[in-house]
Amino acid sequence: MTDRKPLTKTRLMGFAAMAVCAIGYAGAGLALLAGKTDQISMTYAALAAAILAVIGECGLWVGAACLGLTLFKKRKAMLDRILRRRTPAEV
């Protein structure tokens, strides 16, 4: 039996942001490929790739922040249990 915890809002937002990151970077690569193969002009391809790369970068930062925050909360809770610290609600 596996002990699965429910997906919190922060983790869900982090995974969604990472999906946006992947889509943005993949779109930037495809835009550059379309420009390189003369499907569209290279000027428009570079402009589209730049916009999609910025979207991908935003997704990367938001995803890393959300997923990092969940790891920090888990580690802090574990450390509090080990060191027998009380939370403000218990005091």
Exposed/middle/buried for residue 67 (C-beta within 10 Å: 0-12, 13-18, 19+): middle
pLDDT digits (tens, 9 = 90+) for 45-78: 999 999 999 999 999 999 999 888 877 777 777 8
Could you tell me the pLDDT band of residue 83, with boundaries at 50, 70 and 90?
confident
Q: Where are the domains of the chain?
A: 9-82
- pTM exceeds 0.85, yes or no: no
Write the secondary structure of the chain as one string of H (helix), E (strand) and C (coil).
CCCCCCCCHHHHHHHHHHHHHHHHHHHHHHHHHHHHCCCCCHHHHHHHHHHHHHHHHHHHHHHHHHHHHHHHHHHHHHHHHHCCCCCCCCC
Structure tokens that stand for 68 in this block: 């990092």
